[in-house]
């Protein structure tokens, strides 16, 4: 399978936001926009991979090594296709809308 660049938009919730935030920064790199709010972390980043499911699984596994009860709501967009996930579970695929701001 060819490698594609996916745009990630996510909300992360955890009891250990500081530790999870550090893990996110380490995993996604300096280019990621990571905004900590009182009860969650909002993430926007780009990541290369073969498919969204694998990228999502790798990200959530990394976060759960830090805090087991971390939850992830993520959208992975490549080209005109957006795949949504809640934790490891796919929640749907839709066609991306041009100019749509990240949620």
Three-state DSSP class for residue 43: strand
**pLDDT at site 102:** 53
For the chain, which ranges sit under pLDDT 50?
99, 101
* Sign of the torsion formed by the C-alpha atoms of 14, 16, 21 and 22: negative
Q: Which helix (H) or strand (E) holds 57?
A: helix 52-66
* DSSP-assigned beta bridge partners for residue 8: 45, 76
Stated pTM of the model = 0.88
Question: At the topology level of CATH, where does 4-95 sit?
Answer: Alpha-Beta Plaits (3.30.70)
Where exactly are the structural domains of the chain?
A: 4-95
């Amino acid at each position: 399978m060819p490698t594609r660049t996916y745009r990630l938009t996510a909300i992360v919730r955890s009891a250990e936001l500081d530790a999870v935030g550090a893990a996110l920064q380490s995993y996604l790199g300096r280019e990621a926009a990571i905004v900590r709010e009182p009860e969650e972390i909002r993430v926007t980043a780009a990541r290369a991979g073969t498919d969204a499911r694998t990228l999502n699984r790798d990200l959530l596994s990394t976060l759960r090594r830090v805090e087991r009860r971390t939850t992830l709501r993520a959208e992975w967009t490549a080209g005109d296709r957006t795949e949504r996930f809640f934790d490891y579970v796919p929640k749907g695929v839709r066609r991306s809308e041009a100019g749509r701001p990240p949620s």
